Amino acid sequence: MEPMKGRLAGRRAVITGAGTGIGHASALRFAAEGAQLVLAGRRRDKVEATAKAVRAAGGKAVALALDAGQEADVVTMVDTCVSEYGDIDIFFANAATAIGHVSIFDQTPEQWHEVLRVNLIGPFLAIKHAGARMRARGTGAILITSSIASLRGNSGSDAAYDASKAAVNSLVYSGAHTMAGTAVRVNAVLPGLIETEGAKPLFDLARARDPQARIEIGTLRRHGEPDELATVAAFLCSDEASYITGQTIAVDGGVTAIHPTARRPGR
């Protein structure tokens, strides 16, 4: 890796949910593109492993075992980025949680509070604290992980998760408006079916039925990999996306591009 030659060369970035899946892949991609990183996650072992992988590849990373839905922790993430690297240019609010495959009739208000705290309040705190510094300087990028589950029902996720991600999309629009008159951009990526720890039960079920099973979904008729999402995230946080803000961009292999249909014979 030559970290000062990429599209994020010299940028100072915070990534939450950095211990696994999309966050882990994005940390490696952002570092390869030249970013200096503060990596946050609730599982110390996981986030430290991601930071170690970044450093082993020649990048710079600080690992913090913090909660993206707690205001004091988000302040610490931003302050750490400023103290370590001089300022903050990027905040990728990627951390998320879900109730799981539980009927809405069996879900509790406490479970909903936790999902909304992490999935919605967390990104709000990123805009509040990282966005304030960026707005004062007039430049920066905030990216939030939403989901295609925010767009339609029956996504396979729980209702709390779906609702929280729909609210994230609205927050992106409001956040972009808040930054009007500056070059601070606020966007969201909407992953489709990506093979991460969160989607593991689905993949395990399919492979238990057939070890060679291939989940055919979307127009590409396959699931996605974390690296594919990380590549889009890096682009959206770079100057190459300087005219993109207030957008919710699906990275889903074409799932949201088509109406559900029966497979035609011979196709």
Catalytic site residues? 161
Three-state DSSP class for residue 194? strand
Sign of CA dihedral 20, 26, 27, 29: positive
What are the residues facing 184 on neighbouring strands? Answer: 140
Three-state DSSP class for residue 181? coil
Distance CA 32, CA 146 (A): 24
What are the residues facing 189 on neighbouring strands? Answer: 145, 249
Task: Quote the tokens at residue 66.
Answer: 């913090």
Cβ(195)–Cβ(217) below 8 Å: no
What helix, strand, coil percent values describe the chain, rounded to 5? Answer: 45, 15, 40
Q: What number of other Cβ atoms are within 10 A of residue 244's Cβ?
A: 14
Give, for 183, the enclosing helix (H) or strand (E). Answer: strand 183-191
Distance CA 182, CA 36 (A): 23
Distance CA 91, CA 143 (A): 6
75 contacts: CB under 8 Å, gap ≥ 6: 129
Q: Length of the chain in residues, anyone?
A: 267
Diameter of the chain measured on Cα atoms: 61
